[in-house]
Amino acid sequence: MNNTRLLLIRFNNTIFQSEIEYFRGAVVNALTDKDILFHNHLPEDSGLLYSYPLIQYKRINNKAAILCFDTGTEVIGKLFNNSNLKLNLNGRIDIFDVDKITAYQHKVHVWNSKFTYHIRKWLPLNQVNYEKYQQLEGIGDKILFLEKILKANILSFAKGLNIFFENQVECKITKLGDPSIIRYKNVKMTMIDAEFFCNVSIPDYAGLGKGVSIGFGTTVAIKERKKRQNNI
Protein backbone atom coordinates (compact mmCIF):
# COMPACT_ATOMS: atom_id res chain seq x y z
CA MET A 1 0.00 0.00 0.00
CA ASN A 2 1.60 3.22 -1.18
CA ASN A 3 1.05 6.49 0.60
CA THR A 4 -0.36 9.47 -1.28
CA ARG A 5 1.80 12.58 -1.00
CA LEU A 6 -0.03 15.79 -0.13
CA LEU A 7 0.89 19.42 0.32
CA LEU A 8 -1.53 21.91 1.89
CA ILE A 9 -0.76 25.60 1.44
CA ARG A 10 -2.78 27.99 3.59
CA PHE A 11 -2.80 31.72 2.94
CA ASN A 12 -3.63 34.57 5.31
CA ASN A 13 -5.89 36.13 2.68
CA THR A 14 -9.66 35.99 3.14
CA ILE A 15 -11.70 35.03 0.07
CA PHE A 16 -15.39 34.44 -0.57
CA GLN A 17 -16.72 31.12 -1.79
CA SER A 18 -17.61 32.79 -5.09
CA GLU A 19 -13.97 33.87 -5.54
CA ILE A 20 -12.38 30.41 -5.52
CA GLU A 21 -12.64 30.09 -9.30
CA TYR A 22 -11.13 33.58 -9.69
CA PHE A 23 -8.38 32.52 -7.27
CA ARG A 24 -7.49 29.61 -9.55
CA GLY A 25 -7.51 31.88 -12.61
CA ALA A 26 -5.32 34.42 -10.85
CA VAL A 27 -2.78 31.75 -9.91
CA VAL A 28 -2.65 30.47 -13.50
CA ASN A 29 -2.29 33.99 -14.91
CA ALA A 30 0.58 34.70 -12.51
CA LEU A 31 2.60 31.72 -13.77
CA THR A 32 5.26 31.91 -16.45
CA ASP A 33 5.16 28.13 -16.89
CA LYS A 34 1.45 27.33 -16.97
CA ASP A 35 1.69 23.63 -16.16
CA ILE A 36 -1.52 21.76 -17.07
CA LEU A 37 -1.93 20.54 -13.48
CA PHE A 38 -2.72 24.10 -12.40
CA HIS A 39 -5.77 24.40 -14.65
CA ASN A 40 -6.52 21.02 -16.37
CA HIS A 41 -6.99 22.64 -19.79
CA LEU A 42 -5.39 20.94 -22.79
CA PRO A 43 -3.15 23.00 -25.12
CA GLU A 44 -4.65 25.23 -27.81
CA ASP A 45 -8.12 25.16 -26.25
CA SER A 46 -8.52 21.52 -27.32
CA GLY A 47 -10.58 20.59 -24.28
CA LEU A 48 -10.15 19.55 -20.67
CA LEU A 49 -7.92 17.00 -19.02
CA TYR A 50 -10.54 14.62 -17.67
CA SER A 51 -8.70 13.22 -14.69
CA TYR A 52 -8.78 13.86 -10.97
CA PRO A 53 -7.31 17.36 -10.33
CA LEU A 54 -3.99 17.05 -8.51
CA ILE A 55 -4.03 20.77 -7.61
CA GLN A 56 -7.23 21.96 -5.93
CA TYR A 57 -8.15 25.48 -4.84
CA LYS A 58 -9.96 25.77 -1.52
CA ARG A 59 -11.46 28.06 1.09
CA ILE A 60 -10.59 26.89 4.61
CA ASN A 61 -11.61 28.95 7.63
CA ASN A 62 -12.60 31.65 5.12
CA LYS A 63 -8.99 31.82 3.87
CA ALA A 64 -7.53 30.82 0.51
CA ALA A 65 -5.77 27.47 0.33
CA ILE A 66 -4.32 25.07 -2.23
CA LEU A 67 -4.23 21.28 -1.80
CA CYS A 68 -1.81 19.29 -3.95
CA PHE A 69 -1.60 15.54 -4.55
CA ASP A 70 1.39 13.48 -5.69
CA THR A 71 2.80 15.12 -8.87
CA GLY A 72 0.95 18.29 -7.93
CA THR A 73 3.18 18.60 -4.86
CA GLU A 74 6.17 18.82 -7.20
CA VAL A 75 4.91 21.34 -9.74
CA ILE A 76 3.38 23.72 -7.17
CA GLY A 77 6.88 25.15 -6.63
CA LYS A 78 6.49 26.93 -9.99
CA LEU A 79 3.99 29.23 -8.32
CA PHE A 80 6.60 30.51 -5.91
CA ASN A 81 9.42 30.53 -8.47
CA ASN A 82 7.54 32.50 -11.12
CA SER A 83 5.25 34.80 -9.18
CA ASN A 84 5.38 37.44 -6.47
CA LEU A 85 1.88 36.22 -5.49
CA LYS A 86 0.29 39.54 -6.41
CA LEU A 87 -2.97 38.11 -7.69
CA ASN A 88 -5.93 39.67 -9.46
CA LEU A 89 -9.22 38.09 -8.36
CA ASN A 90 -11.68 39.45 -10.90
CA GLY A 91 -10.51 43.01 -10.33
CA ARG A 92 -9.60 42.68 -6.67
CA ILE A 93 -5.81 42.81 -6.50
CA ASP A 94 -4.11 41.46 -3.41
CA ILE A 95 -0.68 40.17 -2.44
CA PHE A 96 -1.16 36.65 -1.15
CA ASP A 97 0.73 35.87 2.03
CA VAL A 98 1.47 32.24 2.91
CA ASP A 99 0.42 31.34 6.44
CA LYS A 100 1.50 27.71 6.57
CA ILE A 101 2.72 24.91 4.28
CA THR A 102 2.15 21.35 5.44
CA ALA A 103 3.60 18.33 3.66
CA TYR A 104 2.35 14.91 4.68
CA GLN A 105 1.34 11.48 3.44
CA HIS A 106 -1.97 9.66 3.62
CA LYS A 107 -2.77 6.01 2.99
CA VAL A 108 -5.91 5.89 0.83
CA HIS A 109 -7.13 2.37 1.47
CA VAL A 110 -10.17 0.21 2.21
CA TRP A 111 -10.12 -0.71 5.90
CA ASN A 112 -12.16 -2.96 8.16
CA SER A 113 -13.22 0.07 10.20
CA LYS A 114 -15.50 2.95 9.18
CA PHE A 115 -14.65 6.66 8.97
CA THR A 116 -17.22 9.46 9.27
CA TYR A 117 -17.04 12.47 6.95
CA HIS A 118 -18.75 15.73 6.17
CA ILE A 119 -18.87 16.65 2.49
CA ARG A 120 -19.59 20.29 1.64
CA LYS A 121 -21.00 21.72 -1.58
CA TRP A 122 -21.22 18.29 -3.20
CA LEU A 123 -22.51 18.21 -6.81
CA PRO A 124 -24.01 14.74 -7.25
CA LEU A 125 -26.93 15.63 -9.53
CA ASN A 126 -26.81 17.08 -13.02
CA GLN A 127 -29.85 17.77 -15.17
CA VAL A 128 -30.08 14.14 -16.33
CA ASN A 129 -29.82 12.22 -13.08
CA TYR A 130 -31.74 14.94 -11.21
CA GLU A 131 -34.84 13.90 -13.14
CA LYS A 132 -34.26 10.27 -12.16
CA TYR A 133 -33.73 11.36 -8.57
CA GLN A 134 -36.97 13.34 -8.53
CA GLN A 135 -38.94 10.37 -9.83
CA LEU A 136 -37.97 8.33 -6.77
CA GLU A 137 -40.81 8.40 -4.26
CA GLY A 138 -39.23 7.35 -0.97
CA ILE A 139 -36.43 9.13 0.90
CA GLY A 140 -34.74 5.76 1.32
CA ASP A 141 -34.63 5.26 -2.44
CA LYS A 142 -33.24 8.75 -2.92
CA ILE A 143 -30.48 8.16 -0.38
CA LEU A 144 -29.57 4.85 -2.03
CA PHE A 145 -29.38 6.69 -5.36
CA LEU A 146 -27.03 9.29 -3.88
CA GLU A 147 -24.95 6.61 -2.15
CA LYS A 148 -24.26 4.94 -5.50
CA ILE A 149 -23.08 8.28 -6.89
CA LEU A 150 -20.92 8.91 -3.80
CA LYS A 151 -19.34 5.47 -4.11
CA ALA A 152 -18.57 6.17 -7.78
CA ASN A 153 -17.04 9.52 -6.78
CA ILE A 154 -14.78 7.78 -4.22
CA LEU A 155 -13.67 5.18 -6.78
CA SER A 156 -12.97 7.93 -9.32
CA PHE A 157 -10.95 9.84 -6.71
CA ALA A 158 -8.84 6.74 -5.98
CA LYS A 159 -8.38 5.93 -9.67
CA GLY A 160 -7.15 9.48 -10.24
CA LEU A 161 -4.40 8.78 -7.71
CA ASN A 162 -3.63 5.46 -9.44
CA ILE A 163 -5.12 3.53 -6.52
CA PHE A 164 -7.30 0.49 -7.17
CA PHE A 165 -9.07 -1.21 -4.31
CA GLU A 166 -9.13 -4.98 -3.93
CA ASN A 167 -11.97 -4.91 -1.40
CA GLN A 168 -15.50 -3.58 -1.67
CA VAL A 169 -16.08 0.10 -0.94
CA GLU A 170 -18.94 0.69 1.48
CA CYS A 171 -20.54 4.06 2.17
CA LYS A 172 -23.70 5.14 3.92
CA ILE A 173 -25.18 8.64 3.95
CA THR A 174 -26.36 9.52 7.45
CA LYS A 175 -27.44 13.14 7.01
CA LEU A 176 -28.51 15.31 4.08
CA GLY A 177 -28.76 19.07 4.03
CA ASP A 178 -31.29 20.99 1.98
CA PRO A 179 -30.36 20.94 -1.73
CA SER A 180 -29.80 24.10 -3.72
CA ILE A 181 -29.48 24.70 -7.45
CA ILE A 182 -26.34 26.32 -8.85
CA ARG A 183 -24.90 26.74 -12.32
CA TYR A 184 -21.62 24.94 -12.94
CA LYS A 185 -20.05 25.24 -16.40
CA ASN A 186 -23.37 26.64 -17.64
CA VAL A 187 -25.21 23.51 -16.48
CA LYS A 188 -27.71 23.47 -13.63
CA MET A 189 -26.46 21.25 -10.81
CA THR A 190 -27.88 20.29 -7.43
CA MET A 191 -25.56 21.13 -4.53
CA ILE A 192 -25.87 19.27 -1.22
CA ASP A 193 -24.08 19.13 2.12
CA ALA A 194 -24.06 15.67 3.66
CA GLU A 195 -22.54 13.43 6.30
CA PHE A 196 -21.57 9.84 5.56
CA PHE A 197 -19.46 6.99 6.81
CA CYS A 198 -17.19 4.93 4.61
CA ASN A 199 -14.51 2.26 4.92
CA VAL A 200 -12.08 4.28 2.77
CA SER A 201 -9.58 6.64 4.42
CA ILE A 202 -9.94 9.97 2.61
CA PRO A 203 -7.48 12.81 3.33
CA ASP A 204 -8.95 15.99 4.77
CA TYR A 205 -10.05 18.60 2.21
CA ALA A 206 -9.90 16.17 -0.73
CA GLY A 207 -12.68 16.85 -3.21
CA LEU A 208 -15.23 14.27 -4.39
CA GLY A 209 -17.44 14.57 -7.45
CA LYS A 210 -17.64 17.47 -9.88
CA GLY A 211 -15.97 20.84 -9.48
CA VAL A 212 -13.38 19.64 -6.96
CA SER A 213 -10.65 21.84 -8.46
CA ILE A 214 -12.56 24.92 -7.25
CA GLY A 215 -13.74 23.77 -3.85
CA PHE A 216 -16.86 21.70 -4.50
CA GLY A 217 -17.26 18.35 -2.76
CA THR A 218 -14.65 19.12 -0.09
CA THR A 219 -14.56 16.26 2.40
CA VAL A 220 -13.34 16.39 6.01
CA ALA A 221 -13.32 13.71 8.69
CA ILE A 222 -15.92 14.79 11.22
CA LYS A 223 -13.76 14.29 14.29
CA GLU A 224 -11.14 16.55 12.71
CA ARG A 225 -13.75 19.08 11.65
CA LYS A 226 -15.11 19.36 15.19
CA LYS A 227 -11.65 19.60 16.69
CA ARG A 228 -10.45 22.29 14.29
CA GLN A 229 -13.84 23.99 13.86
CA ASN A 230 -13.23 24.39 10.16
CA ASN A 231 -15.52 26.58 8.11
CA ILE A 232 -15.00 25.54 4.52
How far apart CA 212 and CA 145 sit, in angstroms, is 21
3-state secondary structure of 152: helix
Whether 200 and 231 have beta carbons less than 8 Å apart is answered as no
User: How far is CA 21 from each of CA 64, 108, 123, 211, rounded to the nearest angstrom?
Assistant: 11, 27, 16, 10
The structural domains of the chain, with segments of one domain joined by +, span 4-106, 110-228
Q: Name the pTM for this structure.
A: 0.88
Q: Would you state the pLDDT for residue 77? A: 85
How far apart CA 1 and CA 168 sit, in angstroms, is 16
Please, what is the end-to-end C-alpha distance for the chain in angstroms?
30
Q: Would you state the pLDDT for residue 116? A: 97
Q: Would you state the pLDDT for residue 47? A: 44
Largest CA distance in the chain: 55
Q: Would you state the pLDDT for residue 4? A: 96
Q: What architecture (CATH level 2) is domain 110-228?
A: 2-Layer Sandwich (3.30)
Q: Do the two domains 4-106 and 110-228 of this chain adopt the same fold?
A: yes
186 Cβ partners below 8 Å, 6+ apart? none
User: 4-106: which CATH number, 3.30.530, 2.60.40, 3.40.1000, 3.30.70?
Assistant: 3.30.70
Distance, C-alpha 148 to centroid of its chain: 18
160 Cβ partners below 8 Å, 6+ apart? 51, 52, 53, 54
Digit-coded pLDDT (tens) for 99-114: 999 999 999 999 999 9
Q: Would you state the pLDDT for residue 32? A: 73
Place 89 in a pLDDT band, splitting at 50, 70 and 90: very high
Q: Would you state the pLDDT for residue 225? A: 47
